[in-house]
Amino acid sequence: MSVLKAALIGNNIAHSISPRVHEELFRVLAPRAGSAFSSLDYTLNDCDEKCDLADWLKKARNNGLTGANVTIPFKGDAWPLVDETDVAASVLESINTIAFNGNVKGASTDGEGFLQALLREHPEFNLEKYHVICLGAGNTSRAVLYSLCTRWMPKTLTIVNRTLEHAEDLANFCVAQAPGPTVQIMSFADLEKYAEPRYRLVLQTTPVGSVTEPGNLAAGFAWDELDFAIDLTYKPLQTPFLAAAQEAGAKTMNGLGMLIEQAALSQQYWLTGELAATSPLSDEEYQTIKARLEKELM
């Protein structure tokens, strides 16, 4: 009887519910995979921005870890430290999943996890009718936009960020990967002047609005009932950003579904050595796990 040892490494992650998510997933995925693992030990490793990732990876492997998740701000830093990556990670130059299986393998499950959650919650979704506005320009933003814009073509794409240079980098990446829509960048101060009046999909990908960083970067945004607001935050479930959108009648979605789906892809990778192309969860399994976690977060 052996233990699947895994960990999350990131900065300011004491609030993370990843251990609970992986605990729920292990009950479902381990028996199905025919795994020799009898239990799961998933720990949080909170590191400052000067963390020696190479040293941490070496120690993790020597200490018997099967896998790890990587979160802000280390996803890009971890990418060159692994031996091989999946296609998405190679394109994005960032990883959120590591498997210690012979070679140290890196993968990006954020984008596919987001897409799976979105289509579970809104199976009729079609990006092509929306003007997409992405708040934030980090590695998670890049992964989500890559999955969205290589599947559909939005009417337009706007990247909003405090640092316009980072917004421009992400805009150039999106144009290179999915040429077609008009792409522009702007600061948060200019967001309330955004001209497109209807069918706006606003993706809130920054930590602002979470329990560790309260606020609403779109406080001056004029919502419409035809808009769709998605906040990748899951704690709290209802951020000020989502509350404002909901009050105007817009559709909303928080980040809990994405957290579950990207974690399911990660854990399946650790259990089987294979990165699944789609979610390993059935609709019933997903909804059961989501309902349990929502109850705990309320």
Q: Which domain holds residue 62?
A: 2-108+257-297
pLDDT at 194: 85
Question: Within 10 A of 32 (CB to CB), how many other CB atoms are there?
Answer: 12
Identify the CATH number of the domain in which residue 151 sits: 3.40.50.720
Q: What percent of the chain has pLDDT over 90?
A: 87
Residue 124 shares a structural domain with residue 234: yes
pLDDT at 261: 98
pLDDT at 1: 59
Residue 98 shares a structural domain with residue 191: no
Residue 245 shares a structural domain with residue 289: no
Question: Residue 289: pLDDT above 90?
Answer: yes
User: pLDDT by residue (tens digit) across 67-86?
Assistant: 999 999 999 999 999 999 99
Average pLDDT score over the chain: 94
Identify the CATH number of the domain in which residue 58 sits: 3.40.50.10860
pLDDT at 160: 97
pLDDT at 34: 84
pLDDT at 50: 81
User: pLDDT by residue (tens digit) across 155-166?
Assistant: 999 999 999 999
d(CA 286, CA 175): 33
Instruction: Report how far apart, in Å, the C-alpha atoms of 221 and of each of 61, 191, 242 are.
Output: 47, 7, 12
Q: How many domains are there within the chain?
A: 2
Residue 128 shares a structural domain with residue 246: yes
Look at residues 132, 130, 186 and name the one whose alpha carbon lies nearest to residue 160: 186
Residue 137 shares a structural domain with residue 250: yes
Residue 238 shares a structural domain with residue 264: no
User: pLDDT by residue (tens digit) across 237-273?
Assistant: 999 999 999 999 999 999 999 999 999 999 999 999 9
d(CA 45, CA 67): 13
User: pLDDT by residue (tens digit) across 98-150?
Assistant: 999 888 999 999 999 999 999 999 999 999 999 999 999 999 999 999 999 99
* Active-site residue (options: 75, 251, 290, 295): 75
d(CA 257, CA 289): 10
Taking the CA of residue 93 as centre, how many other CA atoms within 13 Å lie in the half-sphere pointing to its CB?
4
Q: Does the annotation mark 235 as catalytic?
A: no
pLDDT at 36: 84
Question: Residue 178: pLDDT above 90?
Answer: no
Look at residues 44, 5, 95, 18 and name the one whose alpha carbon lies nearest to residue 258: 18
Question: Residue 5: pLDDT above 90?
Answer: yes
Of residues 27 and 194, more confidence is placed in: 27
d(CA 146, CA 234): 21
Residue 244 shares a structural domain with residue 121: yes
Residue 71 shares a structural domain with residue 140: no
Mean pLDDT, range 179-191, rounded to an integer: 90
Residue 126 shares a structural domain with residue 242: yes
Residue 71 shares a structural domain with residue 182: no
d(CA 217, CA 231): 11
d(CA 26, CA 47): 26
For residue 49, what pLDDT band results from cuts at 50, 70 and 90?
Answer: confident
Residue 218 shares a structural domain with residue 267: no
Residue 133 shares a structural domain with residue 177: yes
